[in-house]
Amino acid sequence: MLNVGAHLRVLRAKGAVARCRGLDDPRRLANAMRHLGEAYGYAANPALAERWCLEALSMIRRLGTGASLDLANALRAVAVARDDLGARDAARPMWREARDLYRALGVAEGVAECDARLAKDADGDGGTESPPRL
């Protein structure tokens, strides 16, 4: 059952994506799309979460700015969605790349989360719970 808070989060994120489509700012649109994906994750719809987060990741990669927080966050969002879908093998490379970027950017919390997810997966404790949201 979808709770009201999750539903409102999805609606707000959809509105942000719609507003950003009218701007000439692909980075802002990509981040709005990632936020919509994350909202779908909160709303327990990992398939839509993955779809929107993958689109955001693709846009960010096309922008080609190299190591960036936007890229690390998009990778993390895809990894969370894939974990939620039970696709841990597909999530693992995303966690690794995100961890490397967070490390290069000096984001200790991001490194710790990625390490924890990778260690949990290596221990065989896949679980069904999502990691804490940054």
Please report, for the domain that includes residue 94, its CATH number: 1.25.40.10
Q: Is residue 71 part of a domain?
A: yes
Q: Is residue 134 part of a domain?
A: no
Average pLDDT over residues 93-110: 97
Q: Is residue 131 part of a domain?
A: no
Q: Is residue 63 part of a domain?
A: yes
Q: Is residue 130 part of a domain?
A: no
Average pLDDT over residues 85-92: 96
Q: Show the domain range for 17.
A: 4-122
pLDDT higher than 70, residue 123: no
Most confident of 57-66, 109-118, 124-133: 109-118
Average pLDDT over residues 95-111: 97
Report the alpha-carbon distance of residue 121 to residue 49 in Å, rounded. Answer: 21
Name the domain count of the chain: 1
pLDDT digits (tens, 9 = 90+) for 64-75: 876 699 999 999
Q: Is residue 26 part of a domain?
A: yes
For 111-134, letters b (16+ CB in 10 Å) and e give: bebbeebbebbeeeeeeeebbeee
Q: Is residue 82 part of a domain?
A: yes
Give the rounded percent of residues in the chain with a pLDDT score beyond 70.
88
Q: Is residue 49 part of a domain?
A: yes
